[in-house]
Amino acid sequence: MKITAIKLYRFDIPLKAPIAISLGTIENARNILVEIQTDERITGWGEGSPFWMIVGETQASGLAAADDMARLLIGRDPLDIEGCIGAVTRYLPGHPTTRSAFDMALHDIAAKTAGMPLYQFLGGSKRSLITDETIYISSPERMVDDALRIQAKGAEAIKVKLGTTLRDDIGRVEAIRKAIGDTIPIRTDANQGWDVVTASGVLRAIGDWNVQYCEQPIKRHDIAGLRQIRRNTTVPIMADESLFDSTDAIRLVREEAVDYFNIKLSKSGGIFDALKINAIAEAAGIPCMIGCMSESRLALTANAHYAAARQNVRFCDLDGCFEHASDPIQGGITYSGYQIELPDAPGIGAEVDPAFLRQCPVTTIT
């Protein structure tokens, strides 16, 4: 089998409203869509959601990089996933989100060729996956309203974005906890917004309020600070922005800096490298979460296949499409409340609505 053509789409999805985290505000999902065509008429789809404030990529820079990556892959065997990913990684060692879209499309082709849903192709089986839902930074009153809405929908966990000041963030969690009661776990995420002193103060204050963990309390490079916070508080610490690849995973394990890993395909470079990260974590006794950026249900479906295929993935944060004003995907995962149901079609089992796709600017490389 040979890759004969690759189409690159500017994949813009409007949001219901802007969403705010400590690193900035997102107005729209400006994603990248990759379609890989082969001489055996098997097509693979992949999507990346570049968050410039996290991965250092924009849609424009990603599409420019994707043009070069696509030219490297024309004529190659798409089933040689390691060879294909190795080629683009050597040429452009950055751009993990863009690379992840190609990785996803290659895995889609491989699983379709094998006649298996992706979770089965990856060596797993269909299992129950439950996602949380995220509350973004706003006034305590607005965040309480969101928490009550999510609780009423039957959530088993609520994720709360923090990362401002000690007093304001303690107040946000306190208000939410008083409103929803003590039963539902709260998962906090500061997105690097605190320093060590502030993080320690906030986490000590909220430590008895059924807080399941805190994601990335401080700057991504401060591994010693993560280790210090972990030792000084009772809230488990999860690495997110500190964890891009297997090298980061080894360092975090060696430094005993965190309790959990947050793996995101858009951050790790795709499934091929995400499997390495989880293997390191599993060997070190560190459970993982599968997370997301602002992907459509196409990429969220691939993320869910990956999670189903690895028992060490204990938590799911696959709610990115909840903020989208439209859903351009056919097939893919479905949500029953917060339970995720995987498709059984070969490959990822999701494609883009042709009518929506016709609206997307496209570049074709042959």
| Structure-token pair, residue 51 | 């968050």
| Structure-token pair, residue 353 | 């609505």
**Which of 207, 200, 212, 213 lies closest to 174 in space, CA to CA?**
207
Other Cβ atoms closer than 10 A to 364: 11
Please tell me which residue in 153, 264, 267, 276 is annotated as part of the active site: 264
Q: Would you call 330 exposed, middle or buried from its count of C-beta atoms within 10 A (0-12, 13-18, 19+)?
A: middle
d(CA 65, CA 87): 13
| 103 among annotated binding-site residues | no
Q: Would you call 296 exposed, middle or buried from its count of C-beta atoms within 10 A (0-12, 13-18, 19+)?
A: buried
| 215 among annotated binding-site residues | yes
Is 126 catalytic? The answer is no
CA distances, 47 to each of 196, 234, 298 (Å): 35, 37, 7
Answer for the pair 204, 233: CB distance below 8 angstroms, yes or no.
yes
Answer for the pair 328, 300: CB distance below 8 angstroms, yes or no.
no
Please tell me which residue in 161, 178, 219, 267 is annotated as part of the active site: 161
| Structure-token pair, residue 246 | 């297997």
d(CA 75, CA 8): 17
Other Cβ atoms closer than 10 A to 67: 14
d(CA 205, CA 202): 5
| 141 among annotated binding-site residues | no
Is 161 catalytic? The answer is yes
d(CA 25, CA 89): 30
**Which of 40, 39, 44, 17 lies closest to 28 in space, CA to CA?**
17
Which residues are part of the catalytic machinery? 161, 264
- Numbered residues of the known binding site: 189, 215, 240
**What residues form the annotated binding site for Mg(2+)?**
189, 215, 240
